[in-house]
Amino acid sequence: MIVRSAETALRARLAKNPAVVLLGPRQVGKTTWPESSPKTGPPARCTSTWNGPPTAGPSFEGMVVENPIAAAGERRIGYFFRTQDGAEIDLVLEMGGAPGIAIEIKRASAPTLEKGFTIACEDLGIRQRYVVYPGRERFSIRHGAEAISLPELMELLRQ
């Protein structure tokens, strides 16, 4: 493994915070570091990656990742999930050691799901599937997922 200069800071933050978000340009190791690090405890703390230019999208995704984790409180553990085939879920919330809620984050006003999200949900056996987007209406999307606003999701998680 390549020793990254930020590794010490990331490990210190993971020890103090329930989530650490890795943002940055493409091909800098945002996925490689979490996948190659020795894991202790739950599958991972909320470690996530975004492979796009530094625009409003990553800022929105970072905000969305932090808020549901805070709303769910200590009863749920949040993490990023990705298979070797590339199927991924932006945020998985587990309770009692079992993944229960899958959250995909889309900045588009008409969000759509990638096939990988559905595959990852099926692999983990997750039935509660949400796509957080900047709109206000709640509506069904394909494969059992619902588009939902961030405030409404946070209220749901507080219950």
Record the tokens describing residue 55, joined without a space.
Answer: 């625009």
Task: Name every residue whose Cβ is closer than 8 Å to that of residue 37 and which is 6 or more positions away in sequence.
Answer: 1
Q: Which residue has the higher pLDDT, 58 or 148?
A: 148
Q: Are 93 and 157 in contact (CB under 8 A)?
A: yes
Contact 58, 52 (CB under 8 A): yes
Token readout for 79 is 């993490």
What is the percent of the chain with per-residue pLDDT over 70, rounded to a whole number? 64
What average pLDDT does this structure show over 4-24? 63
Identify the pLDDT of residue 67: 86
Q: What is the pLDDT of residues 81-140, one digit of tens each?
A: 988 888 899 999 998 889 999 999 998 888 889 899 999 999 999 999 999 998 899 999
Does the model's pTM come out above 0.85?
A: no
Where is mean pLDDT largest: 24-28, 66-70, 104-108, 120-124?
A: 120-124
83: left (phi over 0), alpha (psi -120 to 50) or beta: beta
Q: Find, among 96, 99, 89, the residue nearest to 130 by Cα.
A: 89
The predicted structure's pLDDT at residue 109: 84
15-22: average pLDDT: 61
